[in-house]
Amino acid sequence: MKTASTPTHCPYCALQCGMNLSPSPQGGVEVQERADFPVNRGALCGKGRTAPAVLSSSVRLTSPLVRSGGTLVPATWDEALDRIVEGLGAARAAHGPDACGVFGGGGLTNEKAYTLGKFARVVLGTSQIDYNGRFCMSSAAAAGTKAFGLDRGLPFPLEDIPKTGCVILVGSNLAETMPPSLRFFNELRENGGTLIVVDPRRTKTAEQADLHLAPRPGTDLALALGLLHLVVAEGRVDEEYVKGRTVGWEDARAAAMAHWPEYVERITGVSVPQLREAVRLFCEPEAAMVLTARGPEQQSKGTDTVSAWINLCLATGRAGRPLSGYGCLTGQGNGQGGREHGQKADQLPGYRKLTDPAARAHVAEVWGVDPDSLPGPGRSAYELLDALGTDIRALLLMGSNPVVSAPRAAHVEERVKSLDFLAVCDVVLSETAALADVVLPVTQWAEESGTTTNLEGRVLLRRRAISPPEGVRSDLEVMHELAARLGVEKGFPTDPEEVFEELRRASAGGPADYSGITYRRLAEENGVFWPCPAPPRDAEGAGLDVPPDAPVRDDETAVAHPGTPRIFLDRFATEDGRARFVTVTHRAIAEEPDDEYPVLLTTGRVVAQYQSGAQTRRVDELNAAAPGPFVELHPRLAARLGASEGDPVAVVSRRGRAVAPARITTGIRPDTVFMPFHWPGEGRANTLTNPALDPTSRMPEFKACAVRLEAVEG
């Protein structure tokens, strides 16, 4: 039998591993190796390998559902769409446009994220839109923008990692969260480079490290300042670089000098000899990198914490130079693109600012609306969820499952239930969808085309490989239908390529410029790194800006911008081209342990489940590998509790109580317990977490709160 195979990308994390899909003899699709994609060269983790299971109609929604007499019952598309228009319309009529909220996701394609932002501002006229990326990399994005004038997660491709001298990996467990990427770090070590891992737990990633620093959760800021102190004290500052390429060093230096190694040891629990060893490994080679992930970022001081790590890079001349730099390991499939095109509360497409009059004018022209009609910035994700049922009366949600994944989840669940109206678009009946008034079943990755931007800033084309099951429609079709019913007939196309063509124009001239990227280039070049401005319009045309309505000439590849795999090499994206030191000093976490709640809780992930688990908890093979929540704790804590391996343990915080079996290991600090957040119900980690927000990024403190442990009978 002849099988046509379609090259595409995984639906889950930000590596966006390449894979081939071909029709399976049993129906559905099979995943096959796709060796031509440089990020994974054919390798996949278990989630990617089993992703086709979620395409099967036995685990997913195939009919719209509407609430009737308290339960969700199947309905026609017309009924369901009309109900949404009614629900949103009633909220708006009674309380004004800001009574309608929109919540998006970093897993949505660029085309969907762009359309969702446009839908909120143009059709609903609401300022109340944000998305789950706020809970993900927003602190790194804020710090990157402050220092470099631009936030692109990694300023270089992953393939640079093996060639540098040392990598400090701060709060990333990529052996579980991005398994195929471990290869780059193994190659680094084979080449004689070193790996330092900073994590309160001895994770599978930390086991690969030459040096593992295990700070108390929430103290990375002090740790980075302590390292910078030693860099200065040991005369390892790159004075010439600091002078030529940065501003603000004197103040940042003074702040670091106040963080003596002994003081930092007391705060973090990392010994002075270990601090010295880290500085030696980082400073001796020609080039080095610092990469952060959710560990240091998901803190109520996440932005300052990342600034401190960036300062370390700047003082040692390790940013904007070949094989050196600071990078953030973005998490979701379109975690990078999802933060660029306007589903964020303060943002317009192309990573433009909603408060910038020139940006408003440019985007309004592309959208064919009056700039004054565009609302201003709205609430951040947690603040938006917290306002449900009070200021926000109706919500449209696409691409997130906050009842499981938001901090202080029992409260968020109450807020969701108190809404006048909730509509959810999803592929499965997530815990949040189960609370909705209307649920719309939508198509998934393999059934539709669209672009994503991976953690390297590489824009990719996912191709449609199979037809969707009967009864489902795409998110773009949903927004098209809703817009039309709400009186906006034009501007919401259902063809992803048509949306992308508009996105190109909307992003033209912005920080994240996609105007030189086309579907054809993406297919031919296996991805293109932004910024990638459009080529001149013709032989005489000089500017790189594409005027809103001009067609793009056909032969653009001849003069095409090659894309930007490595940015900042000549200059940073600030006005004067220099990077900014941001002066930061240590502060405590929002909720320090005390007599009543003496232990620290941190949270994170396991390899076989993804996020709120909405998708992966529907895959047998993954459930067999990771069947449920657990509480990881040190034998000393377990002994104090009288708990043995597998015994149920209650974890209690000021927000609530969760129960899960004990998993006892010496690989965690004795003052800390860890829970993965993939499950709802009794073992829901987010029942416990603290929604204290970072003042700049509005990131909640997922990685540190105070709890007590209780033994559970039976």
Asked if residue 15 binds ligand SF4 (CB under 6 A), the reply is: yes
Place of tokens 């941190």: 602
Report the nearest approach of Mo ion to the CB of residue 700 (Å).
12
* Contact stretch for ligand SF4 (CB under 6 A) within 37-45, 277-285, 369-377, 394-402: 37-45
The footprint of Mo ion on residues 496-525 (CB under 5 A) is none
Q: Given the complex with ligand MGD, which of 293 and 366 has the nearer CB atom?
A: 293
Binding partner of residue 652 among Mo ion, ligand SF4, ligand MGD, none, CB under 5 to 8 Å per kind?
A: none
| CA distances from residue 232 to 65, 285, 474 in whole angstroms, order as listed | 62, 17, 55
Query: Out of 7, 8, 13, 153, which residue is the one contacting ligand SF4 (CB under 6 A)?
Result: 13
Query: Which token pair is 299?
Result: 């803190």
Asked if residue 21 binds ligand SF4 (CB under 6 A), the reply is: no
CB atoms within 10 A of CB 347: 21
Place of tokens 């149920």: 648
- How far, in Å, CA of 138 to CA of 382, rounded? 13
Percent helix, strand and coil across the chain, each to the nearest 5: 35, 20, 45
Asked if residue 180 binds ligand SF4 (CB under 6 A), the reply is: yes
Q: Given the complex with ligand MGD, which of 128 and 203 has the nearer CB atom?
A: 203
Picking from 454, 427, 423, the residue whose alpha carbon sits closest to that of residue 439 is: 423
Query: Which token pair is 71?
Result: 């339960």
Binding partner of residue 171 among ligand SF4, Mo ion, ligand MGD, none, CB under 5 to 8 Å per kind?
A: ligand MGD
Report the nearest approach of ligand SF4 to the CB of residue 335 (Å).
11
CB atoms within 10 A of CB 79: 13
Place of tokens 């300062």: 311
Q: Given the complex with ligand SF4, which of 271 and 526 has the nearer CB atom?
A: 526
Asked if residue 16 binds ligand SF4 (CB under 6 A), the reply is: yes
Picking from 587, 671, 586, 703, the residue whose alpha carbon sits closest to that of residue 226 is: 586
Report the nearest approach of ligand MGD to the CB of residue 452 (Å).
10
Asked if residue 462 binds ligand SF4 (CB under 6 A), the reply is: no
Asked if residue 605 binds ligand MGD (CB under 6 A), the reply is: yes
* Contact stretch for ligand MGD (CB under 6 A) within 128-136, 156-164, 575-583, 633-641: 128-136
Query: Which token pair is 300?
Result: 């109520």
- Per-residue x/- mask for Mo ion, residues 291 to 330, rule CB under 5 A? ----------------------------------------
Asked if residue 185 binds ligand SF4 (CB under 6 A), the reply is: no
- How far, in Å, CA of 159 to CA of 470, rounded? 42
Report the nearest approach of ligand MGD to the CB of residue 311 (Å).
16
The footprint of Mo ion on residues 115-154 (CB under 5 A) is 136
Output the CA torsion 149→150→154→156 (10° steps).
-80
User: Helices 110-118 and 475-485, interaxial angle, to 10°?
Assistant: 20
Picking from 10, 5, 3, 6, the residue whose alpha carbon sits closest to that of residue 445 is: 10
Query: Residue 67 is inside which H or E element, if any?
Result: strand 65-68
Asked if residue 157 binds ligand MGD (CB under 6 A), the reply is: no
- How far, in Å, CA of 678 to CA of 658, rounded? 13
Q: Given the complex with ligand MGD, which of 246 and 696 has the nearer CB atom?
A: 696
Asked if residue 426 binds ligand MGD (CB under 6 A), the reply is: yes
Asked if residue 48 binds ligand SF4 (CB under 6 A), the reply is: yes
The footprint of ligand MGD on residues 290-329 (CB under 6 A) is 293-296, 298
User: Helices 272-283 and 220-233, interaxial angle, to 10°?
Assistant: 70
Binding partner of residue 48 among ligand MGD, ligand SF4, Mo ion, none, CB under 5 to 8 Å per kind?
A: ligand SF4
Report the nearest approach of ligand MGD to the CB of residue 381 (Å).
9
Residue 71, phi then psi, degrees to nearest 5: -120, 160
Asked if residue 331 binds Mo ion (CB under 5 A), the reply is: yes
Binding partner of residue 17 among Mo ion, ligand MGD, ligand SF4, none, CB under 5 to 8 Å per kind?
A: ligand SF4
- How far, in Å, CA of 605 to CA of 598, rounded? 23
Q: What is the gyration radius of the CA atoms in the chain, in angstroms?
A: 25
Query: What's the full length of the chain, in residues?
Result: 714
Instruction: Supply the DSSP string of 207-262, one letter for each residue.
Output: GG-SEEE-PPTT-HHHHHHHHHHHHHHTT---HHHHHHHEE-HHHHHHHHHTS-HH
Asked if residue 100 binds ligand SF4 (CB under 6 A), the reply is: no
Query: Out of 6, 7, 10, 586, which residue is the one contacting ligand SF4 (CB under 6 A)?
Result: 10
Picking from 704, 686, 14, 75, the residue whose alpha carbon sits closest to that of residue 335 is: 14
The footprint of ligand SF4 on residues 523-542 (CB under 6 A) is none
Reading phi first (left if > 0) and then psi (alpha if -120 to 50, else beta), residue 509 is in left
Asked if residue 217 binds Mo ion (CB under 5 A), the reply is: no
- Per-residue x/- mask for ligand MGD, residues 437 to 476, rule CB under 6 A? -----x--------------------------------x-
- How far, in Å, CA of 449 to CA of 464, rounded? 5
Query: Which token pair is 629?
Result: 């929540």
Query: Out of 230, 256, 328, 427, which residue is the one contacting ligand MGD (CB under 6 A)?
Result: 427
Task: List interacting residues with Mo ion (CB under 5 A).
Answer: 136, 331
Which residues would be at the binding site for ligand SF4 (CB under 6 A)? 10, 12-13, 15-17, 40, 44-45, 47-48, 178-180
The footprint of ligand MGD (CB under 6 A) covers 13, 105-108, 132, 135-136, 170-174, 176-178, 198-201, 203, 217-218, 220, 293-296, 298, 331-332, 398-402, 404-405, 425-428, 430, 442, 475, 602-605, 607, 609-612, 614-615, 674, 677, 685-686, 689, 702-704
